[in-house]
Amino acid sequence: MEFVHDSLGQRVRFGTSGAAAALASEVAERDAKRVMVIAAPAEQELAERITTGLPVALSYQEVVMHVPVEVADRARHAAQGADADLVFSIGGGSTTGLAKAVALTSGLPIIAVPTTYAGSEATPVWGLTEGSTKTTGVDPRVLPKTVVYDAALTLSLPVELSVASGLNAMAHCIDSLWAPRADPINAALATEGIRALAAGLPAVVREPRALAGREQLLYAAYLSATAFASAGSGLHHKICHLLGGRFDLPHAQTHAIVLPYVLALNGAAAPEASARIAGALAAAEALDGLWSLYEALAAPRALADYGLPRTGIPEAARALVELVPPGNPRAVGEVDLLKLLEAAWAGTDPREFRAELNR
């Protein structure tokens, strides 16, 4: 065994109904006097619930998916105007993304409270959108100093969104098994993440107000994002990034839908990854196990339902050929990508797509 693995310096505070106390302790430890709170209007009530008594200098609400540059600029000016010394964000990946945009230019520390399972809180990756072009980059300044996970704050996340977002975390886990910097530590994190998702997702669908399943999903979200941050973007992330940017598709649902097809494509050429996935799903075979989970969850199925125009597929497949990571377990050509996108567009059973690939 031979590998190089970088671990990121970040504190994690995990505890149901413990966010307010955790934040108060963080603010005191950092001697912060002027906190900027970032939360979308829908998450205002949650934000107020956990920041009462803190030295809040500014409550900022303009959160937009994929962080348009003009939105980032307004938030940066507001932070400067309020003389903020700490940024606190509560919400999904879009909210964390705005906090990162502020930290990128100001160097202000972030404390993030995620309420979806997208995992941005555990990565040093930032993203900004100009027109229809999304640029991403890596900068240690945007990695939140502390992440506070509190399952009680995720109870309001609707079941369908919980499923899609949990499968976004599943995609981080599975893709990290063959991504450019895949290593045994990432694989261990990812395998435990898959196990926790397979336990938590059905529990949340069965009983959305119960906390045990929600805790499993937050725990898995952290593991998945840590594995992804270290391993980098594999084929799955390349496909979703391109589709999301070109066709303005919703983030979590796109990841959820594309994942089984990427597993169908890569699985046979990645026997060790497939064995890990199957084991973590307690299934005899990886794709069978993943697809049974999808069926049990009534997971989102077809990109056609989320805005991908069928006419855009050939052009997307052509662009994707250039983006296939060189270390992908198998060679992938334009025809494979065309078939994959057609299958994901229609929501075909991914085992049929796998059989079609071999014909």
Binding residues (CB under 6 A) for ligand NAD: these are 40, 42-43, 65-66, 91-95, 97, 115-116, 118-120, 123, 125, 127, 153-154, 156-157, 161, 165, 251-252
Q: Residue 83 CB, nearest distance to ligand NAD (Å)?
A: 27
Each residue of 6-28: b (16+ CB within 10 Å) or e? eeeebeebeebebbbebbeebbe
Which of 182, 252 has the CB closer to ligand NAD? Answer: 252
Closer residue to ligand NAD in complex, CB, 94/176: 94
Please identify, using beta-carbon distances, which residue of 164 and 264 lies nearer to ligand NAD. 164
Q: State the minimum distance, in angstroms, from the CB of residue 95 to ligand NAD.
A: 6
Of all helices (H) and strands (E), which one includes residue 127? strand 125-130
Least gap, CB of 116 to ligand NAD (angstroms): 3
CB-nearer residue toward ligand NAD: 93 or 193 = 93
State the Cα–Cα distance between residues 121 and 98, nearest whole angstrom: 11
Q: Check the CA dihedral 163-145-176-133 and report its sign.
A: positive
Q: At closest approach, how far in Å is the CB of 334 from ligand NAD?
A: 26
State in angstroms the smallest separation of the CB of 48 from ligand NAD. Answer: 14
Q: Closest separation between CB of residue 189 and ligand NAD, Å?
A: 15
Residues with Cβ within 8 Å of 345's Cβ and at least 6 positions away in sequence, in order, are 302, 303, 304, 308, 310, 313
Nearer to ligand NAD, 237 or 276 (CB): 237
C-beta of residue 323 within 8 angstroms of C-beta of residue 237: no
Nearer to ligand NAD, 238 or 354 (CB): 238
CB-side neighbour CA atoms (13 Å) of 120: 32
- Count of other CB atoms within 10 angstroms of residue 340: 25
**Signed CA dihedral, 136, 140, 141, 147: sign only:** positive
Q: In the complex with ligand NAD, which residue's Cβ is closer, 97 or 260?
A: 97
Closest CA to 123 of 139, 135, 134, 102: 139
Q: Phi and psi at residue 307, in whole multiples of 5°?
A: 105, 5
User: Shortest gap between Cβ of 141 and ligand NAD (angstroms)?
Assistant: 13
Residue type, 202: P
